[in-house]
Amino acid sequence: MPLHPDRYFDPNPTVRDLSRRLYQGVAGLPLVCPHGHVDPKLLADDEPFPDPAALIVVPDHYIFRMLYSRGVSLESLGIPRRDGAPVETNMRKVWQLFADHFYLFRGTPTACWLTHELEDVFGVTQPLDGRSAQAIYDQMLACLERPEFRPRALFERFRIEVLCTTDAATDTLEHHKKIRESGWSGLVLPTFRPDAVVNLENPDWRSEIARLSEVSGITVTSFSRYIQAIEARRVYFKEMGATATDHAFPSPYAAPLSSAEVNGIFDRALAGQTREDDARRFNGHMILELARMSVEDGLVMQIHPGSYRNHNRHIFETFGADKGCDIPTATEYTRNLLPLLNRFGNNPRLRLVLFTLDESTYSRELAPLAGHYPALRLGPPWWFFDSIEGMLRFRRSVTETAGIYNTAGFNDDTRAFCSIPARHDLCRRVDAAWLADLVSRHILDLDDAEAMIADLALNLARETYRL
């Protein structure tokens, strides 16, 4: 069944017509993707995608977390195990299993993205279910064998203006180098994410510090040399085109430590002798250090707090991180960020983009903070709230206090490369519906709404991320 041209719009004819007009004004705009998790190797090598299941099912935790919640094992979906034990390698079987359970996604944003992706990218118009699975698989497989379905060709077809990846502080950025040296015109930029060398609770922290020493050329034997190594890596990332950093602190807690305190914590961590509260206190100090670095080097600072990472210990130990079991926690910003904002919040050189998984904070804390401090921007709803209803709740929660110009525009935050245009399209349609409602109630003039939707779709992301 083909996608309805008025999907996600209000059924009221007046509002629907306004929604359609606003959406059509931005539907063809290029895509700015300032934050995501596409592997740059994909575009560096530009190899054909192997098959539909490896393209759509295996890399996307939005998909397999839902199936796992209903008793489908990750092994049966071809998700690699850390110990190398056997998992399903027949991708037709993986696709069949996915299609048999596709009904689980009814009413979810994942279904909206996937249905759009199947039709818009691969020309699939029949519903995906157990009966149609193999015919759709064959249709997609035939597409993937053609040169116009290689990653770089799709990048251009999707009208991606810039794609930012997320890269560890110790990454050599070899794939970004390869893209640059290939002469291809696509713009793919790294983003500096130092979580593995900042979070003392990371079980691999000491080996990551050894790697940081290796790639930075600065042997990390003390906190001061650690800071020098991080700063050196930021310089390198900027030379490779980075405009932003990204940090997944457990909370936005900021509190400075004395030199003696931070040196003591760092020395204990190097010796493998951290104490119970060391990680929290070190994070509180490092969030200030990293903000100071952003003031100095101009890299946009993104903070993604409020996630209990790898909540399912069995899944983490068996399959590793990013397997769909990061769970929201309540997050407080007003007091936690006070030391950072008192120090840097009025500095025009700092651009700090805040995200959350705790919707309750939008109207109570985040909108008032962003509506005051020049340094702050609000990121769009993250993970479980980047849905039709979540986007509408976000707009309604923050706009009256912060306006749209203290928000960061849309970012797709995805590993699933072929879903990028579908995610942007969904957001543009939801924004069109929201603005059309305001116009119909005479809160906005149509001219203002047309300017606002262009900013929401494209210009805010460009400006926020200095692209």
Is residue 7 a part of any domain in this protein?
no
Is residue 5 a part of any domain in this protein?
no
Is residue 6 a part of any domain in this protein?
no
Residues 130 and 110 in one domain: yes
Residues 74 and 156 in one domain: no
Residues 246 and 351 in one domain: yes
Residues 143 and 268 in one domain: no
Q: Residue 156 and residue 395: Cα distance in Å, rounded?
A: 30
Mean pLDDT within 392-413: 95
Residues 228 and 300 in one domain: yes
CATH number, residue 115: 1.10.2020.10
Is residue 431 a part of any domain in this protein?
yes
Q: What's the burial of 71, exposed, middle or buried (CB within 10 Å: 0-12/13-18/19+)? A: exposed
Q: What are the pLDDT digits (tens) for 206-252?
A: 999 999 999 999 999 999 999 999 999 999 999 999 999 999 999 99
Q: Residue 161 — very low, low, confident or very high, per pLDDT cuts 50/70/90? A: very high
Is residue 162 a part of any domain in this protein?
yes
Q: How many domains does the chain have?
A: 2
Mean pLDDT within 413-433: 94
Residues 44 and 56 in one domain: no
Q: What are the pLDDT digits (tens) for 172-211?
A: 999 999 999 999 999 999 999 999 999 999 999 999 999 9
Residues 159 and 116 in one domain: no
Q: Residue 404 and residue 314: Cα distance in Å, rounded?
A: 41
Residues 170 and 217 in one domain: yes
CA distances from 347 to 99, 294, 303, 340 (A): 51, 11, 17, 11
CATH number, residue 257: 3.20.20.140
Residues 54 and 44 in one domain: no
Does position 383 have pLDDT exceeding 80, yes or no? no
The length of the chain in residues reads 467
Does position 114 have pLDDT exceeding 80, yes or no? yes
Residues 281 and 133 in one domain: no
Is residue 265 a part of any domain in this protein?
yes
pLDDT of residue 311: 93
Of 149, 182, 216, which closes a domain? 149
Residues 58 and 190 in one domain: no
Q: Residue 315 and residue 411: Cα distance in Å, rounded?
A: 28
Is residue 103 a part of any domain in this protein?
yes
Q: What are the pLDDT digits (tens) for 293-328?
A: 999 999 999 999 988 889 999 999 999 988 888 888
Q: Residue 176 and residue 386: Cα distance in Å, rounded?
A: 28
Residues 127 and 190 in one domain: no
Is residue 457 a part of any domain in this protein?
yes
Of 99, 126, 149, which closes a domain? 149
Of 97, 116, 149, which closes a domain? 149
Indicate the pTM of the whole model: 0.95
Sign of dihedral through CA atoms 377, 383, 384, 385?
positive
Structural domain span for residue 97: 49-149
